[in-house]
Structure 1
Amino acid sequence: MTNLATLLTDSAAAAPDARAIVLDDRVLTYGALDDLSARVATMLCGSGIRPGDRVAMILPNVPHMPIAYYGILRMGGVVVPLNPLLSPRELTYHFQDAEVSLVLVWEAMAEATRAAVAQLEREVPVVEVTAAGTLQSLGEVPPMPELAERADDEPAVLLYTSGTTGRPKGAVLTHHNLRTNAELSASLFATGPGDVMFGGLPFFHVFGQTVALNGVIASGATVTLLPRFDPAKALEILVRDEVTIFAGVPSMHIALLHAAGEGPVEVPHLRAGVSGGSPLPVEILERFERVFGAPIYEGYGLSETSPVVCFNQEAHGRRPGSIGTVVRGAQLRVVDDRDEDVPVGEIGELVVAGEYVMAGYWRNPEATEAAIRDGWFHTGDLARVDEDGFYYIVDRKKDMVLRGGYNVYPREIEEVIYQFPGIAEAAVVGVPDETLGEEVAAVVAFRDVPEAETEARIDELDAFVRERVAKYKHPRYYKVVDELPKGPTGKILKRSLDLEGAGRRG
């Protein structure tokens, strides 16, 4: 059977008493997760939901989330996971676009959800999920005995992109897409029943959903949840729950390092860190490994690719700064504007094919045709590949700065900035310039630098960067902030940077 929920039913049959989900002192075994999700399936069917219907799910990383997730899947519904921080206006758009038939929402977000549903032209039931009452009420519902049959190519999850280049689009991920990528993730990290995965990545996002939820459940391991990322709490969880694999985005690794100080930190069970979502500065990777004593494996993927398609794999060795080599089941190329391969070492757009690529954008054939050409999904990321098959993300195509006819890749400058002592976060962007078209600007956050000393530190940073990059590349504008704006997964949002008040240097 193809149904993605078989990841859970198979593991529950093998070890029903094993720990599946942990949240502080609460533990959900595989048997309990299996049983409760089967009761959710019955509840949904009783509410008139049929196979193929879309069910929106607005839940943080609490045990109720996987219960609802696998419950929707096992009755044949399509999961539409949404960020709990969306506004009512944004929720209304998603409900309309996905044509959802029912909404499951965490109690804290119920008011915004009802306001969003009120703007729809049709009735959509809202089921409020509460910490205290929902699990008890499920006890009154009989479990659905069988899983709905689903074909490989049928939708399992409708995953909305972040909308950085327009209105969010729903990537249609099939049962086959997600099941095979979960199995791949488990094999990449050699995850097994004795492992404990850190569950701080939001499960409504593809990285957390595949790597920290589906991949864990597929392998019979345990995931320990942190509903809202806090570095001090994360450190506590790493030790308390004997975490073996830490999965996070770069800002999580940076925050952990800041909380840990100079280290080293004693986390004897930690055997690997996993990074994705955005490029991890090499300086951060090396510091994390020194402080926590575990290697970081960086990989790459997108919502549209389920997500993992490239990874630093044990068999091929690790290369800091690289996203690794192509994984089984995927194909990668680096192409020019005519979709022809560029020579080894040269920069082009990364395109992806294979069994993890989405079926398309939900009811948006124009966007699908623009993104998938001749079977290749165009990522919008600029990359290069070396002679050994290791891929390197240079930057987002749209983030490249064109300064006086020269291409400047912000990530290259950010890597240098992160080498400067005391840098907490950094982002490099282009700003309009009448003479050159665009000029280079850097926004940085320092660690423990008094405000009175920031100008002097910027002068030092500017000199540091100028020594290490070509003249046309170094930033002419700098701005110091307390913290850079981030999205729900902790990814730095360059489009939200405020450059007002940035000072010019040189």
Structure 2
Amino acid sequence: MDNLLAEDGEVLAGVESKTWAQLSMFEHVERGLRRNPHGPAVVCLMEQSISIQNLLCSKNQSRAQPASGIKEIHPRSSAIEGNSTSFTLTYTQLHHTALRIATGLLAVGVQPNTTMIMLIPNGAEYAILLWTCILLRITYVNLDPSLLDMSSSAALKQMLQMARPQLVVAPDTCSGKMIDIAISELGLPQPVRICLSDSVLSSTGWKSFVAVAAHANSQRLLEDESLGLAARHHNPNRINSIMFTSGTSGMPKGCPQTVAAMSYALHSQEWLIDPDSGAAKYALMQAHNSRGIAPAQTLQTWRAGGAVVFTGQSFSVPDAIKAIDLVGASFLVLTPPMVHEFAIELAKISLDLSCVRRIQIGGDAVTKEVLIKCAALFPQAQVCVNQGMTEGPGVFTWPFLGTRPETTPFIGGQICPVGVVAPGAKIRLQSIAHEGIVRISELRELHISCPSIIKSYLGGRSADMFYNDTEGGWFNTRDMAMIDENGLVFIMGRRKDMIQRAGVMIAPAIIESCISTLIRSQAIVVPVPHPVLGAQPIAVVESFTNVSVEQVKQHVCTAIGDEYALGGVVCLKQLGLARFPVNATHKIIKSELQEAVLKYWK
């Protein structure tokens, strides 16, 4: 760790390190192709469309292996009732199919270095299109298919206006009508329009996935070397992708990430999904492809020569259990609420978990109780905390893969670190009052300078979150964090979620961890206004089955001090809720919970 020093020689909470050489996107995934050409690159555990079978079985597909296609899988345990099916693509099949699609796209007028919007579900078609984008250096913009609903027409128009795509992919022509209407009303140039369904009328102007591949059959198929040579050309400043934030803090913001930025992230995160540990073998990818984590994890898995396992369109503990049982999922991404749900579900069944080699926990501040519980549930897996942002992953690395979770340093005895600053990245902890960089172990706002971080949001939105100084370009995460003398960084939560009581800042995560240790289940703390103190923390628990309000309040004061004293404790039933509200990435939506608490507290 290279520490920045103040003029008086005191160590400040600014950290930086070194970096690696950059590669093109194709050079990254080509590593997996070369490492494991006949091994699985994509495994889908949900029903696949007939069109994907038609694509793989269409004529002149002789260059690829015969498609693995759909096969029946027998469950290993009673966790899954009945037999299931899987759909598998090997690396060779994926690459050759993407070559056909790329050639077909060129034949219908799509040019390299243009922009494509995808509004499609997870599955084989998504994987093929992502690989195709890499071959043609097309900027991919992945959006939630729900934007094709009539109620989302305004949001869809906004996305189209910002991205101005030359290529659009939708599930079918019916949902694609919303694209047609929006393009017409905006007066945008007509893009090439492709749908996954085979049922396409020529009068609609849309082309099917299979029809695009057929254009390659009617042309002289470009040699692998020709497309591959162009794909290996490294243009670090090209926009590789535009992903949108979840929008929990307002309207989703577009994050244009360059090839250099994603290349850095893939280098920085190679410790996470690697072939040597076995983590990459069957890496479960549950987030929908419109979420920033999805393409990043997909590319990371392919770089390691592993299989990306799809189970559906969102995070789901039952689907994760299915993936463990049916294919031996080796890598999982969990949020703290999912860890608690796993504990409940695994108590009901007998399931061999030895296949799980590594688990990433993230999404919210991770507590000691969650880390230790996860390690106990998966005793043969390495459990790590990994902080990621749509604005740029790979800022931190986890230094405790080879150690027991109980030995991890915890701030306040409760909160896990997110790791140490990755080579090439820098952080600083900035006083909210703009008093400059602060001393180690003080809770302040986290600012990041990293090759993976975007320079601005699409359209210049929230420009105040980005700035430049003599140290380079910086991004204000609006997370509150601290750093210890060993360079470990602790993110305590969003600035907007901090509780200011009588002028003292309280991190809800510390109280949440303390309560969870007592009740062995999820607890969330939100602020409510107080006429004298300004605000006070209120805890929300699932139920009072094994504990009383007074027991919870007393435990907090005894364990972590009177300065964290609760103003009250309520359960979900009292708020009229059946479960904690979560978003598409399974993060708890604290704003909704706070609204329910305020309504109840009046």
TM-score by length of 2: 0.75
Unaligned runs of at least 5 residues, structure 1: none
Asked which structure has the greater RCO (Cα within 8 Å, sep 6+), the reply is 2
The 1:351/1:428 distance shift into structure 2, 3 A limit, reads same
2:238 is aligned with what amino acid?
E
Measured after TM superposition, the shift of residue 479 of structure 1 is 4.5
Distance in 2 between residues matched to 1:144 and 1:170, nearest whole Å: 34
Measured after TM superposition, the shift of residue 178 of structure 1 is 1.1
SS of equivalent residue, structure 2 residue 288: coil
Distance in 1 between residues matched to 2:100 and 2:115, nearest whole Å: 18
Q: 2:504 aligns with which of 406, 415, 418?
A: 406
Distance in 1 between residues matched to 2:347 and 2:177, nearest whole Å: 40
Distance in 1 between residues matched to 2:199 and 2:385, nearest whole Å: 39
Please list, as runs of the form range in 1=range in 2, the aligned pairs for 1:72-471 lying within 5 A after superposition. Answer: 72-86=133-147, 87-107=152-172, 110=176, 113=179, 116-117=182-183, 119-122=185-188, 123-130=190-197, 136-137=210-211, 139-142=213-216, 145=223, 146=227, 147-148=230-231, 149-192=233-276, 195-211=281-297, 213-228=298-313, 229-261=315-347, 265-293=351-379, 294-305=381-392, 307-314=393-400, 319=408, 321-337=416-432, 338=434, 340-364=436-460, 367-368=462-463, 370-374=465-469, 375-423=473-521, 425-446=522-543, 457-471=548-562
Distance in 2 between residues matched to 1:168 and 1:144, nearest whole Å: 39
Kindly provide the CA deviation profile for residues 243-287 of structure 1, in whole angstroms up to 9, marking residues without a partner as x: 222223333333222211278852112221112222222212211
Distance in 2 between residues matched to 1:247 and 1:30, nearest whole Å: 23
Match of 1:23 in 2: 44
Measured after TM superposition, the shift of residue 220 of structure 1 is 0.8
Distance in 2 between residues matched to 1:150 and 1:362, nearest whole Å: 23
Is the contact made by 1:200 and 1:248 (CA closer than 8 Å) also made in structure 2? Answer: no
Measured after TM superposition, the shift of residue 417 of structure 1 is 2.2
SS of equivalent residue, structure 1 residue 373: strand
Measured after TM superposition, the shift of residue 469 of structure 1 is 4.1
| Structure number with larger C-alpha Rg | 2
SS of equivalent residue, structure 2 residue 267: helix
Distance in 1 between residues matched to 2:599 and 2:350, nearest whole Å: 36
Distance in 1 between residues matched to 2:346 and 2:258, nearest whole Å: 40
SS of equivalent residue, structure 1 residue 27: strand
SS of equivalent residue, structure 2 residue 542: strand
Q: Which shifted more, 192-201 or 17-26? A: 192-201
Distance in 2 between residues matched to 1:502 and 1:417, nearest whole Å: 23
The 1:140/1:279 distance shift into structure 2, 3 A limit, reads same
Residue identity (%): 21
Measured after TM superposition, the shift of residue 218 of structure 1 is 0.6
SS of equivalent residue, structure 1 residue 308: coil
1:62 is aligned with what amino acid?
G
Distance in 1 between residues matched to 2:396 and 2:290, nearest whole Å: 21
SS of equivalent residue, structure 1 residue 48: coil
Measured after TM superposition, the shift of residue 314 of structure 1 is 4.4
Unaligned runs of at least 5 residues, structure 2: 1-21, 46-85, 201-207, 411-415
Match of 2:64 in 1: none
Distance in 2 between residues matched to 1:2 and 1:128, nearest whole Å: 32
1:8 is aligned with what amino acid?
V
The 1:431/1:501 distance shift into structure 2, 3 A limit, reads closer
2:310 is aligned with what amino acid?
L
2:187 is aligned with what amino acid?
E
The 1:90/1:32 distance shift into structure 2, 3 A limit, reads same
2:275 is aligned with what amino acid?
T
Distance in 1 between residues matched to 2:515 and 2:444, nearest whole Å: 24
Measured after TM superposition, the shift of residue 43 of structure 1 is 3.6
The structure 1 segments of at least 4 consecutive aligned residues displaced by more than 6 Å after TM superposition are none
Distance in 2 between residues matched to 1:113 and 1:438, nearest whole Å: 46
Equivalent pairs, count:
495
Distance in 2 between residues matched to 1:43 and 1:255, nearest whole Å: 45
Q: Which shifted more, 330-339 or 276-285? A: 330-339
TM-score by length of 1: 0.88
The 1:246/1:334 distance shift into structure 2, 3 A limit, reads same
Distance in 2 between residues matched to 1:234 and 1:402, nearest whole Å: 38
Aligned-pair Cα RMSD in Å: 3.0
